[in-house]
Structure 1
Amino acid sequence: MGRETITEAVMFFDQGHVVKEMLYPEFEAVLDGVVQINDFRNLLVKSAFVEIDSTLSVRSAVLFMIDFDEQGYADKDWNIPLQHLAYSAGLGPDLGAGPIKLACRSQCPVSWHQAQMWDPEMSPDASHLVSIKRAAETNNLGILADRKPPPAPAAVAASQPAEISPPILDQSVPILDAPLAADPGIESRALERRLSKQYQKEHRDKVANLIKRQRLHISTLKTRFKEELMQTNQLLQQEKQQQVKKLDALKKEMAMQSRQNETLKRTMKQQLVEFRRSREEFAQQLQDMESEEMGDIARIKAQYEDQMAQRLQAATAELQDQIEVRDVEMAYRNELDGQMQEELESLRSRVEELTLRQSDDVLEDLSHKGVVFVAYHPGVGHITIPLHDIPKYMNHTMGYVASKCFVSEEQYNQWLRHYESPNCDARTTDGSRCSVRLDRIDSPGMYVDGHSNHCDKHRGLSAVEAVKAARSSQ
């Protein structure tokens, strides 16, 4: 047999489907800037370098991304050794001719090219690898295919002598000795064992391929989740920085308003001083005029007092209005400050929620794999916690355990103190605890406060009655 013919091709994707195919020499012309692709202007395109054999079966795939400029030319600085990656790639899923070699972001043999790779969708509804397989079988590239079917079983049987001979099986199964082959029953059992061993080997190979495919799927999902989490954290950090900047601007504006209020207060004090000075001047004038005419003095004095009262009232009202306006503005700024603080707390809660969501995904993954969450608490023993009850258990553990004991949280906490220290809680005359050893109540539902935690001497007495009994004993 001659060397198997391998055809190298490049396929371009859009929304999970192959939209364009070309042979690798044509793709090299695109990289050299000889050919442009108008359909990919200003786009970052997901692509796949594929090796196809003469039976139109996919043997290897390298999933990479390439950028095109405004005129449809490929990025001049793009340089990924596709053939080397295809040669050194790890095994991927079986596309009909055995496991293919697959290089992607989660399975990249050269780490510094990982940023320019991408992971395929592995779900049954949308699989990039299935799209590659269908495109290869459609053969839009015009590959010279050799699809000679294997010889039929009847033709093989006709070409052999007319005697009973075993079918072609796995060569690893030992052949029976000649004396045993003479017995048809022994040969039938040997044939059955061979078929069983060959079936087991095929079954193990299928299971191994399925496990490899699932591992690759899990690896791609983890990589995608990490990228989404990093992007979300970056967006939250940017939003947080913007909110902090707004808060700083509001604080500066509040400080400026405070300075303006102080300036207004100083102005009002200066005007009051000037009014007092004017009043003293008018008083002096009145004293000078008393010797001339008492009537004029009284009239001028009354006029002066009216004018001064009006001016003082007007100035006071004006300044009071200004102060009230400033106070309203200060209250509004304080309210904005509180709102910004609440928004910051909300952002922190969202970051914590994303972190908890990652933990919830891990718990859900463990639950699907059969992991059971068990906790031990006095009074209820070992309890199995369902996955949907884990947040309730983490946020309010004692309340959750008390509900399992069919008692209130307060009664469970009282019983727990009694269970950990079964002593009398009653107070003696000197104010100390009685501390007489009691029989421990093992069930929270059987515990009665004031009865189960008191000795025979103090049982049945209320706090007031206990104090009266102590005083009477004195």
Structure 2
Amino acid sequence: MSNYPAEQLEAVFLFQEGQIARELLYPEFEAILDGFIPVPDFSGTSAKAAYVQINPSLNVTGIVFFLLGFDAKGMVDRRWNVPLRQLLESAGSGPDMGAGAIRLVCYSQCPVAWHQKNLWDPLMQPGNNSFVAMRKAVKSNRLGFAIKAPEIQAVTPAPVQTGRTAADIEREQSVLEQKLHEHYAQELRDKMALLIKEQRLRIATLMNQHQAKFHSLQHEHQQRLLAYQQQYQRLDQQNKELEERNRSLKESLEIQATKVEGMREYFAHKLKAAQQDESSQLQLLQENFALELDTKIRAATAELREMLDMREVELFYRHQNESALKEEIVNLKHENQQLLKNSGDQLLGRLTKAGVNLVTFLPGVGEIAIALDDIGRYLEDPDAYAAEKAGVSQAVYFSWLEHHKSPCCSAIDSRGNMCGRSIPMIETPLEFHSGESDRCTQHQSVTFSLVAERR
């Protein structure tokens, strides 16, 4: 049986598929954080966990719902750093779990903004309630907490007063009824306040879940739209290349047809002049004509094929050189990132262990804490890093930045002049669609009509 201080008991619950999968004493959880104990059941996943503070009467007084990442070996991610006790000291109120309103920290109710991404919202559906499951687990006391028996105060009977009149008794009953009414009214108000807070927490949780689902659908729509745009551009480029190639082949065919027609006229004239000679000479000229014509055509065809083969070889070597250069660029970037990481790894590691986070403000993303492993990528290309955190491509992010700096219509008329009409600003890159969000109502309708005509 654990010997915890009488004032405060601590435990950590690990959840799996909405149910409590494992109960840990806080020293056991600290051993997992220090890397002494692996948890193979959660290898390669991000587990949902809850830090619980319990009073000696086995009533929950505070909860922090946090996320805990594990690597492939079941060890806790070294970058995890969530101050559970400090968060609970500045937490808001939650539902009543037997000892009054608890202190609650979750995704929808986080006192420190940059720790919100490491938290999650509890389940509050009927039949699948995280608070009910934890209350039952605490009451079952499988962790073996030392329970403090409640103190029973002796009730001293009030002395019996004699000689009271009926008016005194009626007055005392009236005062007692008034006190009981005030007591139960206050108790009812407290219960209503707790119920309202619990419903607000449930509403905030549902709103965050719907918002996360909406952002996921919006990101998927953005990716699909970008893929369609890229496919359209690729097909349009292929169409242009095919048209150019068709035009070139037509010109080459016309030139060859002109040459063949010239040779045909020449040999026809020569044949006509030789018709006066003997039939053997005529037959010989016809054979020579056919042979020379076939030779010319084969020579022209071989020349065209040779030119085409040379172009294909050039394209092949060009693709090989581009692939080699791209691989070299990727290796150089990786080496640069490793150098940046190794150069400041000791200092940044000490700062991270001390609870210091590198926080920056990115347009369209807001304040964000930069992980130690991401510092190299951020310093190399802050705009690409911001586009990745915003969930859009770099091209879309640059287009949104131009729109955010100057929210005006960027449509170009037939004279080459920009429209410049003021339009509503799109606050986030996920909601921005190039060619639509940076156009006024008039040019949006023109764009839609052009797309309909192309279809």
Give the TM-score normalised by the residue count of structure 2: 0.57
Change (3 A) 1:264 1:181: farther
Change (3 A) 1:180 1:70: farther
> Which residue is 2:140 aligned to?
138
Pairing 1:120–2:122 present: yes
C-alpha contact (below 8 Å) 1:61/1:102 kept by paired residues: yes
Shift of 1:188: 2.1
Choose 1 or 2 for highest CA Rg. Answer: 1
Structure 2 alignment gaps of length 5 or more: 295-455
Structure 1 stretch displaced more, 40-49 or 248-257: 248-257
Among residues 233, 242, 249, which one is paired with 1:257 in the alignment? 242
Shift of 1:13: 0.8
> Which residue is 1:209 aligned to?
194
Among residues 109, 112, 115, which one is paired with 1:110 in the alignment? 112
Distance 2:115 2:109 in 1: 11
> Which residue is 2:68 aligned to?
66
C-alpha contact (below 8 Å) 1:67/1:74 kept by paired residues: yes
Shift of 1:63: 0.8
Among residues 209, 221, 231, which one is paired with 1:236 in the alignment? 221
Partner secondary structure for residue 183 of structure 1:
helix
The AA in structure 1 aligned to 2:205 is T
Q: Which digits, 9 at most, give the CA deviation of each residue in 1:196-241, with x for residues without a partner?
A: 1111111111110011111111112222222222222222222222
Distance 1:44 1:272 in 2: 71
Shift of 1:133: 0.8
> Which residue is 1:219 aligned to?
204
How many residues in Structure 1 have an aligned counterpart in Structure 2? 290
> Which residue is 2:343 aligned to?
none
Shift of 1:292: 4.2
Larger RCO (CA within 8 A; separation ≥ 6): 2
Distance 1:119 1:273 in 2: 79
> Which residue is 2:182 aligned to?
197
Pairing 1:281–2:258 present: no
Distance 1:241 1:138 in 2: 54
Distance 2:120 2:165 in 1: 58
Pairing 1:160–2:160 present: no
Q: Which digits, 9 at most, give the CA deviation of each residue in 1:262-311, with x for residues without a partner?
A: 13322331232123212321332244235547x899x97xx89xx8xxx9
Distance 1:213 1:180 in 2: 50
Change (3 A) 1:201 1:4: farther
> Which residue is 1:187 aligned to?
172
> Which residue is 1:336 aligned to?
none
C-alpha contact (below 8 Å) 1:181/1:187 kept by paired residues: no
C-alpha contact (below 8 Å) 1:61/1:101 kept by paired residues: yes
Distance 1:235 1:77 in 2: 29
Aligned residues: CA RMSD = 3.4
Q: Which digits, 9 at most, give the CA deviation of each residue in 1:71-95, with x for residues without a partner?
A: 2211222111111111211100011
Partner secondary structure for residue 125 of structure 2:
coil
Change (3 A) 1:180 1:25: farther
Give the TM-score normalised by the residue count of structure 1: 0.55
Q: Which digits, 9 at most, give the CA deviation of each residue in 1:26-80, with x for residues without a partner?
A: 2111111122222221121111111111110000011111111122211222111
> Which residue is 2:46 aligned to?
44
Aligned pairs for 1:88-99 within 5 A: 88-99=90-101
Distance 2:241 2:253 in 1: 19
C-alpha contact (below 8 Å) 1:86/1:103 kept by paired residues: yes
